[in-house]
Structure 1
Amino acid sequence: MSSLKTRERLSEVRYEIRGELARRARELEAQGRRLIKLNIGNPGAFGFRAPEHLQRAIAERIADTDPYTHQQGLPAAREAIAAFHKQRGTPNATPERVFIGNGVSELIDLSLRALLNPGDEVLLPSPDYPLWSAATILNDGRPVYYRCAPENGFLPDPDEIEKLVSSRTRAIVLINPNNPTGAVYPRELLERIVAIAQRHKLLLMSDEIYDSILYDGAEFQPLAPLAGDVPCLSFGGLSKVHRACGWRVGWAVLSGDPLLSGEFHHAMDLLGALRLCANVPGQFAIEAALHGEDTIAALCAPGGRLYEARRAVVDAVGASAHLSLVEPGGALYAFPSVTGAARVGFDDHAFALELLETEDVLVVPGSSFNVPYRTHFRATLLPQPDELREVFARIERVLDRHAERAQARQTAVA
Structure 2
Amino acid sequence: MKPLNSTITAIPPSGIRRFFDIAAEMDDVISLGVGEPDFVTPWRIREAGIYALERGYTTYTGNAGLPRLRELICADLASRYDARYDPATECLVTTGVSEGLDLALRVLLDPGEEVIVPEPCYVAYQPCVSFAGGTPVGVPTRAEDGFAIDVAAVEAAVTPRTKAILIGSPANPTGAVQPPEVLRALVALAERHDLYLLSDEIYDRLTYDGTHTCLGAVPGARERTVVLGGFSKAQAMTGWRVGWLAAPAPIAELCLRVHQYTMLCAPHVSQMAAVEALSNAEPDVAEMVADYDRRRRVFVKGLREAGLECPEPAGAFYAFPSIRSSGLDAETFAERLLREESVAVVPGTVFGPSGAGHIRCSYATALPQLEQAVERIGNFLRRL
- One fold, TM greater than 0.5? yes
* 2:155 corresponds to 1:162: yes
Counterpart secondary structure, 2:370: helix
Task: Output the CA distance in 2 between the equivalents of 1:180 and 1:368.
Answer: 10
Counterpart secondary structure, 2:68: helix
Task: Indicate which of 23, 36, 39 corresponds to 2:33.
Answer: 39
Which 4+ residue blocks in structure 1 deviate beyond 4 angstroms?
none
Task: Output the CA distance in 1 between the equivalents of 2:12 and 2:260.
Answer: 27
Q: What is the CA-CA distance between 1:398 and the residue it aligns to? A: 2.6
Matches within 5 A, 1:237-386: 237-255=230-248, 258=249, 262=250, 264-275=251-262, 276-294=264-282, 295-301=284-290, 305-321=291-307, 323-340=308-325, 342-343=326-327, 346-386=328-368
Which consecutive residues of structure 1, in runs of 5 or more, have no partner in the other structure?
Answer: 403-414
RMSD of Structure 2 on Structure 1 (CA): 1.9
Task: Output the CA distance in 1 between the equivalents of 2:47 and 2:270.
Answer: 11
Residue by residue over 1:367-408, the C-alpha shift from the partner in whole angstroms, topping out at 9 and shown as x without a partner, is: 000124521000111122221121122222333343xxxxxx
Matches within 5 A, 1:136-215: 136-215=129-208
Task: Output the CA distance in 2 between the equivalents of 1:113 and 1:64.
Answer: 34
Counterpart secondary structure, 2:129: helix
Contact 1:218–1:330 under 8 Å retained in 2? no
Opposite residue 336 of structure 1, the aligned amino acid is: P
Give the corresponding residue for 1:27.
Answer: 25
Give the corresponding residue for 2:70.
Answer: 78
Opposite residue 102 of structure 1, the aligned amino acid is: T
Task: Output the CA distance in 1 between the equivalents of 2:125 and 2:371.
Answer: 31
Opposite residue 323 of structure 2, the aligned amino acid is: V
Q: What is the CA-CA distance between 1:13 and the residue it aligns to? A: 3.7
Counterpart secondary structure, 2:105: helix
Normalised TM-score (structure 2): 0.93
Q: What is the CA-CA distance between 1:14 and the residue it aligns to? A: 4.5
Counterpart secondary structure, 2:24: helix
* 2:103 corresponds to 1:110: yes
Task: Output the CA distance in 2 between the equivalents of 1:372 and 1:176.
Answer: 17
Counterpart secondary structure, 2:353: coil
Task: Output the CA distance in 2 between the equivalents of 1:320 and 1:99.
Answer: 46
Task: Indicate which of 42, 47, 61 corresponds to 1:51.
Answer: 42
Give the corresponding residue for 2:210.
Answer: 218
Opposite residue 110 of structure 1, the aligned amino acid is: L
Q: Give the number of aligned pairs.
A: 378
> Is the alpha carbon distance of 1:53 and 1:373 closer, same or farther for their aligned partners in structure 2, counting shifts above 3 Å?
closer
Which consecutive residues of structure 2, in runs of 5 or more, have no partner in the other structure?
Answer: none
Q: Percent identity?
A: 33
Opposite residue 308 of structure 1, the aligned amino acid is: R
Task: Output the CA distance in 1 between the equivalents of 2:332 and 2:361.
Answer: 16
Opposite residue 59 of structure 2, the aligned amino acid is: P
Matches within 5 A, 1:368-407: 368-402=350-384
* Structure ID, larger Rg: 1
Give the corresponding residue for 1:16.
Answer: 15
> Is the alpha carbon distance of 1:314 and 1:198 closer, same or farther for their aligned partners in structure 2, counting shifts above 3 Å?
same
